[in-house]
Structure 1
Amino acid sequence: MAARFAKLDLKNTSFLLCDIQTKFRPSMKFFDPFVVNSNKLVKAGKILNVPLLATEHYPKALGHIVDEIDVSHAKCVLPKTKFSMYIPELEKNLKEIGNVKNIVLFGLEAHICVEQTTLDLLENGYNVHLVADCVMSRILQDRDLAIERMRQYGCFITTSESVIFSLMVDKNHEKFKECSALVREPSVDVGLAKK
């Protein structure tokens, strides 16, 4: 099977933030570094005017998106009980944005909500760019195996910095200085398996 190609482009890309909620913090070893990386990505998306859509899984029990990540510019922050983010309300919001072909997906848990979202997005014709340093599970082997499965499904596995620079394309991009300030410090290690 020939490899697919899906270049990130500001004109047809949206960010999906999956369930980065307060109640997960105590149960995840690399939660804080994962939040730092995710926050950098969200800030860059805001600077570059990339539409952000977010979900909170059963917020009554799991709380809201962590305070460190400002999602006030998000097109929507949707509560859900389904594991996949691809609920009717999210589908409607994606269609309202128009011309979305590429989804930059990040959040938790990698082997549950993120993976099921990936399958639904791929099934509905989107290219999925999974941000490996911005996905997490309670157990790292669950995350790492989920990333490998998602690669097999046809996801593009990337990192937060790669996404940011891919969207800018050129050092002469008008927002380069603002975004380069975000990446001055390297992304934080989240214990990804070395392969």
Structure 2
Amino acid sequence: MALRRCHLNPKKTLFLLCDIQEKFRPAMPLFDNMVKNADKLTKAGKALDMPLIVTEHYPEKLGKTVEQLDVCHAKVVVNKTLFSMITPEVKAVMKELFQEKPDDVVLYGLESHICVEQTAIDLLAQNINVYVVADCCSSRLNQDRDLALDRLRQAGCVITTSESIIFDLVRDKNNPKFDLIRKLVYPPSVDMELKRNAGSGVSKL
């Protein structure tokens, strides 16, 4: 599917943070790296006044969102059993925030091939542009993450990175939030060893 890449509109963009919970930590390769990148993105979203919705999958067994992520500015933290984030409660908050729905969603979390993928598919079905933040996503197996990103690219998502999202929202050095954002992005994002198939070989994302 051909993609028409557009700039994010800060007034019509929603951040969705999917199930980055403590109990997943031991099972996820590069979990700590993912959390560091997600922390940068979440802090930047807060600084830029981007609305955030957080979900926690079956938190009674899987725990709360990791403490390293400050989600106190989230419009809502939703407990769920659906794999997709697009629960009735999340739909209601989206409608309240955007009078119907956002134009763009910045989606990140885990697991890439389950909850993130099903969320993205549900958003695309509503004709919402989906920006999947690859360096802020994880699965128990890197191959599941990488193949999920390939499937989502083919489905029509934009596969991107945290710094690309941040700078696309800022757009201008004269943005009044630039100095704060500059401090957040000064340390480079942590490498997530992202790869995808390219012809018969393998290349970096």
Classify the TM-score, shorter chain. over 0.9
Contact map agreement 2:21 2:62 (CA 8 A) in 1: yes
Contact map agreement 1:6 1:127 (CA 8 A) in 2: no
Matching residue of 2:199:
none
Aligned partner of 1:180 among 176, 179, 182: 182
Contact map agreement 1:129 1:156 (CA 8 A) in 2: yes
Shift of 1:70: 0.6
Query: How many aligned positions are there?
Result: 195
Aligned partner of 2:163 among 154, 161, 164: 161
Contact map agreement 2:16 2:52 (CA 8 A) in 1: yes
SS in 1 for 2:187: coil
- Deviations 1:134-165 (CA, angstroms, capped at 9, x unpaired): 01001000000000000000000110000000
Amino acid at match of 2:114: I
Matching residue of 2:22:
22
- Report 1:51-70 matches (<5 A): 51-70=51-70
Amino acid at match of 1:112: I
What CA distance in whole angstroms lies between the structure 2 residues aligned with 1:29 and 1:88? 32
Aligned partner of 1:115 among 114, 117, 122: 117
Percent identity, please.
Answer: 56
Gaps of 5+ in 2: 196-203
Matching residue of 1:37:
37
Gaps of 5+ in 1: none
TM-score (norm 2): 0.93
Contact map agreement 1:104 1:131 (CA 8 A) in 2: yes
Matching residue of 2:201:
none
Report the RMSD for the aligned CA atoms in angstroms.
1.0
Shift of 1:5: 3.4
